[in-house]
Amino acid sequence: MRRLEGQVALVTGASMGMGKAIARALAAEGASVAITARGEDLLRQAADEIRSAGVDVLDCPADVSDPASVETMVGAVLEHFGRIDLLVNNAGVNLPHRSLSDITVEGWQTTVGINLSGPFLCTRAVLPAMRAQGRGTIVNVSSFSGKRPSVHAGVAYSASKAALNSFTESINLEERRNGIRACLVVPGEVNTPHVEKRLHPPSPEARAAMLQPEDVAAAVVFVATMPERATVEELIIRPTVLRNRDDDARAVAST
């Protein structure tokens, strides 16, 4: 029997990269999957791919930084499946102008809105259903930049991920009594389409040595399949070989 048979998972930012890999991995374990992202076309394509595992997949476009959009999306998931057992807050963003000297107010608000307000809004929206069930797992995908701020990650991204770490701890403090557990998954550098948008994109060789999206997906599956009596509060996963990021820092500092 697949380990998540009969469960329903909601994955944000699931149209590509880590989110799509996580949704695929959960589906392969038997979970019914709802996926959400802002881009409808890519989201629909991802849903079609994930259905190849023979599970029920619902694609619900939404902007996780918008409260009304999140409420509508979660309502559609509950109407379709009747429950939500696992929420993976994976949606995230970073912008090209990310240093203190060039980030705009709008850039700060966009980054914090998706990376921090998004997990808050999605968590708040699913909690009533999880409390009624008496169980639920929430996985917040953070970044090593939330542990150790870096120039290449930028001020808003690093700050939003650091705050996400604290938010995850707050979920456990308040919701354990309701049978709800939360885990912070902290990946190091991951080879996703977003690395192509950096001011100093890494080489193909460097990308091959990074974590791959399926590595992060395996970590999420591990957390989700632990017995309900056990909470993995934090899971750090980093590349075995850590590359020199000085070029990245110089590229950001020179802009």
Query: Mean pLDDT of residues grouped by 10 in the chain (255 residues)?
Result: 95 97 97 97 97 92 98 98 98 93 96 98 98 98 93 93 98 98 97 77 90 98 98 97 68 51
Catalytic residue set: 157
Q: Are strands 57-59 and 32-36 parallel, antiparallel or unpaired?
A: parallel
Q: Is residue 2 part of a domain?
A: no
Residue 68 belongs to domain spanning: 8-253
Burial of 245 (0-12, 13-18, 19+ CB in 10 A): middle
pTM surpassing 0.85? yes
Whole-angstrom distance, CA of residue 202 vs CA of residue 248: 9
Q: What is the CATH number of the domain that holds 47?
A: 3.40.50.720
Residues comprising the chain, all counted? 255
Largest CA distance in the chain: 54
Q: Is residue 55 part of a domain?
A: yes
Q: Is residue 1 part of a domain?
A: no
Q: Are strands 8-12 and 86-89 parallel, antiparallel or unpaired?
A: parallel
CA-derived radius of gyration, the chain: 17
Q: Give me 198's structure tokens.
A: 């950096």
Contact 248, 50 (CB under 8 A): no
Q: Is residue 122 part of a domain?
A: yes
Q: Is residue 73 part of a domain?
A: yes
pLDDT at 76: 98
Q: Is residue 81 part of a domain?
A: yes
Q: Is residue 192 part of a domain?
A: yes
The total domain count for the chain is: 1
Q: Is residue 3 part of a domain?
A: no
At residue 203, φ and ψ (nearest 5 deg) are -75, 165
Could you tell me the CA-to-CA distances from 240 to 48, 80, 223, 237, 243 in Å, in that order? 33, 41, 21, 9, 10
3-state secondary structure of 179: coil
